Amino acid sequence: MPIKSVTITMTSVPVASPSSHIAPTELGSDEDQAAPQEGVKVLLSQEGKAKAAEEQNKNADIDASNLPESVKKILKVIREIQEKIQKKMEEFETIKNDPSLSDKEREAKAQGVQVELAALTSQLTSRTNDLRRTENELKLSTGQRKLSNYLAAPKG
């Protein structure tokens, strides 16, 4: 589901030039220092909020696990790569079954997708190796390793 609208409101924030120097005695009171600074405000549409919630929920099982943060981060990257592979596989099937393409066009497009799939598969192998190395370095328990393997397994 594409995000239908995003509203961005920008306000200017005065910034000291690199050549200016403010001595500690010139800073003013603590109240001046604690004043909130204006910046960029982003408002998401309902569809955008739903998409953001969906993105958070898809890794809720990883976030809820007792695994170290470094392992969780790698698991999320692995899932992202797996999703990309799944989408490329679907694209490949669509190309193979597209009657509007000539044999030559079909072959060229399919070959391009296969190259992308090979790159994604290589990334997945690399991140999986990173996961195993991190598990070893952190000396994860057998239970944690089993959980990590379960969370890294392709879903679908």
CA-CA distance, 93 to 87, in Å (whole number)? Answer: 10
Domain range annotation of the chain: 6-56, 61-152
How does the average pLDDT of the chain come out, rounded?
82
CB–CB of 45/6 below 8 Å?
yes
**How confident is the model over 86-103, as pLDDT tens digits?**
999 999 999 999 999 999
Provide the angle, in degrees to the nearest 10, between the axes of the packed helices 69-96 and 103-137: 170
CA-CA distance, 105 to 96, in Å (whole number)? Answer: 10
CA-CA distance, 76 to 31, in Å (whole number)? Answer: 41
Please say if the pLDDT value at position 146 is more than 90.
yes
Please say if the pLDDT value at position 124 is more than 50.
yes
Please say if the pLDDT value at position 16 is more than 60.
no
Helices and strands (DSSP H and E) totals, the chain: 6, 2
In the chain, what's the furthest Cα-to-Cα distance? Answer: 76
Where is pLDDT greater, at 31 or 69?
Answer: 69
Instruction: Kindly report the pTM of this predicted structure.
Output: 0.65
DSSP 49: H
